[in-house]
Structure 1
Amino acid sequence: MLDGLNRAMEHIEEHLDRPIDIADLARIAVTSEYHFRRLFSALAGMPLSEYVRRRRLTVAGAGVLAGDRTLLEVAVRYGYSSGEAFARAFRGLHGVGPGEARRDGARLRSQPRMSFRLVVEGSNSMQYRIVEKDAFRVAGKRARVPLVHEGMNPAIATFIRGIGADTLRRIGELSDQEPEGIVSASDNLADSRAEGTELDYYHGVVTGAAVPPGLDALTVPAGTWAVFESSGPFPQTLQYLWRDVFTEWFPSNPYRSRPGPEILRTRLAQDGSRADAELWIPVERNTG
């Protein structure tokens, strides 16, 4: 998997002055476009589109300083249709405009080339199981919330506090299969998983029953799920579990993510300081 990712990174470098098709990158990495975007953003810490933009502007910066092409020629070569658009993007990365950089020999910023390798630390192992699951529904209450990578998500906390006790009881009574009890389901995440992008958040249960009026429902087709377990401080353990699945487990195992909700079952200690977590990720086997 990592070899394929690194071949895709080489392809990006060779095509910085040409259009880059995500389908080509996914084919080189022998995975799906969906999984490639998600895995890249988890490993790189930024969306694929942002990395490509920064690399193009880094190389364009060298072209600006070299002075053997006009600024418009440099702009067009790296995908900008006008000098104004290029100048805005250039200033956004480098802190100065291209004309100022060429005239004054300004210091420019650089986005280094990325490559991926597996670092084996040896102290932690991930507990997981693979489950084949029939179609089901997530039934409960839904909200559109921003993604928060570290610390408590205020929008989710506020949303949950606003669900009445009677509604929670009605939701809980619908639970009839794994994962049992109240769960959190995240759906329609942006491919980039960038901080602040929005997602559909469900506070509900997994059920095969009909969903009564007044509740929201998400229908999930049959498929394969990777189920991960973890225990530790709350909420860091939950957020690190998500991170570790994409940065450690996927590169080391013959599976890739597929579209679908990511479901988290959490059991908090009485004082709220620790949690036992079970994370369900929709997966499929790599075909390469």
Structure 2
Amino acid sequence: MLDRLNEALERVERDLDTPVDVAAMARTTLTSEYHFRRMFSVLSGMSISEYVRRRRLTLAGAEVIEGRDTLLDIAVRYGYGSAEAFGRAFRAMHGISPGEARGSGAALNSQSRLAFRLTVEGNTTMRYRIVEKDAFHLIGPKARVPLVHEGVNEPMVEFVKGIPDSAYERIEELSDQEPRGGVSVTVTHDPDRREGSDVDYYVAAATSETEAPEGMEALEVPAGTWVVFPFQKYAFPEAIQRIWVYAGAEWFPSNPAYQHKHGPELLSVEYDEQDQNLASGELWLPAEKAV
């Protein structure tokens, strides 16, 4: 799979002067465009569009310093319709204008070419199960927080700390199906899943109830297929966050009968009594059968 992903990235270098064809890149990796965007973002920490922009401006910067072509010629070559638009993008990445960059001693930023490599640590085999669920609701407190791919999400932590015990008790009462108890729910809005983009985050019950109590919100979830990844005594949050990476880069490409689809992603967690830094539970990802 990583070979196909690196092959797709070669299109970025070949087509730096034309709009990026993400759909074609996805076809190279034998995935949907949605899954490709998500997988790239999780693996690299940036969206595919951001990577393409930074690569183009890296090469444009070298040509600006070289000084052989006009700034307008360079702008057009790298997909900008005007010198003004090129100047704004150039300054956003390099911190100076193209004209200033042509002065002696200008220092520019550089985006290296990405290449993905697999590092195998240990011989752990990830378990999974496929679950078909009828329509249900997720009901619980909700907040909008930034997306954080690795490490602690401080706004999310603060939101969870502010939830009263009475709300957790009500969530337990509402829970009447898998995954049981209080479930962490994330709903992304940015198809590229860029770091810092908005995420709707719930602490909720999976329930057959439809009405949300005061102070809570209800999210309707249609009937569908879920891929469930159980885990035991994983370091929180880093090791659990790596399950998303495994699912995107390994499981879905290795199981082409299923495709990841947009929807709420559910995380059920129980902390270890002896070590609160360890957690066990399940990650539920919405999926659909490939056509």
TM-score range, shorter chain: 0.7 to 0.9
1:245 partner amino acid: A
Identity across matched positions, percent = 54
SS, match of residue 237 in structure 1 = helix
Distance of aligned partners of 1:259 and 1:30 in 2 relative to their CA distance in 1, 3 Å threshold: same
Measured against aligned partners, the alpha-carbon deviations of 1:32-90 in whole angstroms (never above 9, x if no partner) come to 22111101111222111110001111221233244332111101221223323323322
More displaced, 85-94 or 278-287?
85-94
Q: Distance in 2 between matches of 1:3 and 1:16?
A: 21
Q: Take 2:107 and 2:161, find their aligned partners in 1: how far apart are those partners?
A: 50
Q: Which residue of 2 aligns with 1:194?
A: 194
Matched, 1:38 2:42: no
| 1:1-288 paired onto structure 2 within 5 Å | 1-104=1-104, 106=106, 108-214=108-214, 215-230=216-231, 231-254=233-256, 255-270=258-273, 272-287=276-291
| 8 Å CA contact retained: 1:237, 1:275 | no
Which amino acid is the alignment partner of residue 246 of structure 2?
Answer: D
Distance 1:88 1:209 in 2: 51
Contact persistence 2:42–2:149 (CA under 8 A): no
The one-letter amino acid of 1:104's match is S
Deviation string 1:142-187 (CA, Å, 9 cap, x unpaired) is 1111223344333223322333333322221111111111111101
Q: Which runs of 5+ in 2 are unaligned?
A: none
Deviation at 1:128, TM superposition (A): 1.5
1:273/1:116 Cα in 2 relative to 1: closer, same or farther (>3 Å)? Answer: closer
Structure 1 residue 106: deviation in Å?
4.0
Partner SS for 1:104: coil
Q: Counterpart of 2:269 in 1: which secondary structure? A: strand
Tell whether the 8 Å contact from 1:65 to 1:105 is kept in structure 2 after alignment. Answer: no
**What is the rounded CA distance, in whole Å, between the counterparts of 1:237 and 1:110 in structure 2?**
30
Q: Distance in 2 between matches of 1:187 and 1:173?
A: 23
Q: Give the deviation of 1:124 after TM superposition.
A: 2.5
The answer to whether the 8 A contact 2:37-2:193 is kept is no
Distance in 1 of aligned mates of 2:15 and 2:166: 57
- Alpha-carbon distance in structure 1 between the residues aligned to 2:88 and 2:190: 25
Name the SS for the 1:194 alignment partner. Answer: coil
Q: Which runs of 5+ in 1 are unaligned?
A: none
Moved more, 8-17 or 260-269: 8-17
CA RMSD of aligned residues (A): 2.4
**Deviation, structure 1 residue 115:** 3.3
Distance across 1 between alignment mates of 2:182 and 2:221: 17
